[in-house]
Amino acid sequence: MILYSDRDDHYSQRVRIVLAEKDITAEIKESKPEQTPEDVLSISPYHKLPILVDRDLAIHDPSVMMEYLDERFPHPPLLPVYPVARANSRTLMLRVEREWCPILDTLIAAELPEKELIKLREELLHEISSIAPTFKEFKFFMSDEFTLVDCCFAPILWRLPSVGIRLPLNRHLKPLLDYQKSIFERPGFLDSLSSLERDLKSD
């Protein structure tokens, strides 16, 4: 099994978290899309990383990769067993994918005027802050167990300082900050970090 992974991309990191959490033996080839061999990059119709190759199977969508790995290596499970809970997890992943990731991607690219970037920072901070109270009820993202939703959310939290967003130290956000601390200390999360991603935290 080979994961062609962008060394500082949050979509790639979420897959690396799954590999680390499940202790899956895989060769991780880190690069940037422009440095990736064309025969590999052509696997994806979008010519983007990550790309997972497992024998005759090649997957180019990070969400499909995560669920494939969870099904092929079922222990520990990273999606709930029961259908309703699984559907809820998938819905949360879709929310992260459609609502938060585009904002983060735009902030990382930093191609807009600063005035527009400020608005996007405020929007993303507001969105993430709005879920803080749920961490009073659940240890993880709307769950008492670590799931694929956390694999999607953690790389976003890690990148906030690098795009100019600081989570305020206040009473409202304390449950979220406690969650963030516990996630960042997980061996699986730490093992997933590339050298470039480790440097992001110091920004």
Q: Which CATH number is 2-72 given?
A: 3.40.30.10
Q: Is the pTM of this model over 0.85?
A: yes
- In this prediction, residue 202 carries a pLDDT of 47
What class, spelled out in words, does domain 83-200 have in CATH? mainly alpha
User: Residue 23: which region, alpha, beta or left (left: phi > 0; alpha: psi -120 to 50)?
Assistant: left
The amino acid at residue 96 is: V
Cα gap 100→95, rounded to integer Å? 7
- First-to-last C-alpha distance (Å) of the chain: 33
Sorting pLDDT into bands at 50, 70 and 90, what band is 186?
Answer: very high
Neighbours of 183 (CB within 10 A): 20
Average pLDDT taken over every residue of the chain: 93
201 pLDDT above the threshold of 80: no
Sorting pLDDT into bands at 50, 70 and 90, what band is 7?
Answer: confident
Domain extents for the chain?
Answer: 2-72, 83-200
The amino acid at residue 144 is: D
Question: What are 104-157's pLDDT values in tens digits?
Answer: 999 999 999 999 999 999 999 999 999 999 999 999 999 999 999 999 999 999
Sorting pLDDT into bands at 50, 70 and 90, what band is 180?
Answer: very high
DSSP 128-191: HHTTTTHHHH-SBTTBSS--HHHHHHHHHHHHTGGGT-----STTTHHHHHHHHHHHT-HHHHH
Question: What are 76-111's pLDDT values in tens digits?
Answer: 999 998 999 999 999 999 999 999 999 999 999 999
Report in angstroms the alpha-carbon separations of 92 from 18, 70, 71, 190.
Answer: 17, 17, 19, 23
